Amino acid sequence: MTGDLWALAAAMLLAVVQLTLSSVLTLRQLGGAWVAGPRDEPREVIGLSGRFVRAHRNLLEIFPQFVAALFLVHAADAVGSLSTIGAWVFVVARILYVAAYAFAPPGVRPICWLAAQVGIFTIVADIFV
């Protein structure tokens, strides 16, 4: 398996960990009755729990771009060092994003998001090299 696909596996693991963490924190804050119920009355988790939930949602928004970039380089048979580097930059930046969202001062989180996006662009750059 190529290095970029190992990064994809790591990103999938990150998504599972974030989903689990978000689910547990939501359950703790909003209670089992609401979580298991029909959720007709919308409620949001707040504070630190809310930050973890929003970080997971943000991963779900950017993850399809990451997968599409990997698909493109593999479909074009253009996998190389840039796609591997870009994929791992994405994974590391997304891990840092979670920590930044939860604990860092304002301004750090957008830098982590931008680094992940640069990772995606780096993956695609392998097509043009």
Q: Please tell me whether residue 105 adopts helix, strand or coil conformation.
A: coil
Crossing angle of helices 81-103 and 47-75, in 10° steps, is: 170
The domains of the chain, with CATH numbers, are 3-34+45-128 (1.20.120.550)
Whose CA is closest to 22, among 63, 56, 59? Answer: 56
pTM, rounded to two decimals: 0.94
Helix, strand, coil distribution of the chain in percent, nearest 5? 80, 0, 20
Q: How far apart are CA 71 and CA 74, in angstroms?
A: 5
Chain length of the chain: 129
Tell me phi and psi for residue 72, to 5 degrees.
Answer: -60, -45
Q: For 28-78, write each residue's pLDDT tens digit.
A: 999 888 888 888 888 899 999 999 999 999 999 999 999 999 999 999 999
Closest residue by Cα to residue 54 from 4, 117, 123, 102: 102
The per-residue pLDDT for range 69-128, each reduced to its tens digit, is 999 999 999 999 999 999 999 999 999 999 999 999 999 999 999 999 999 999 999 999
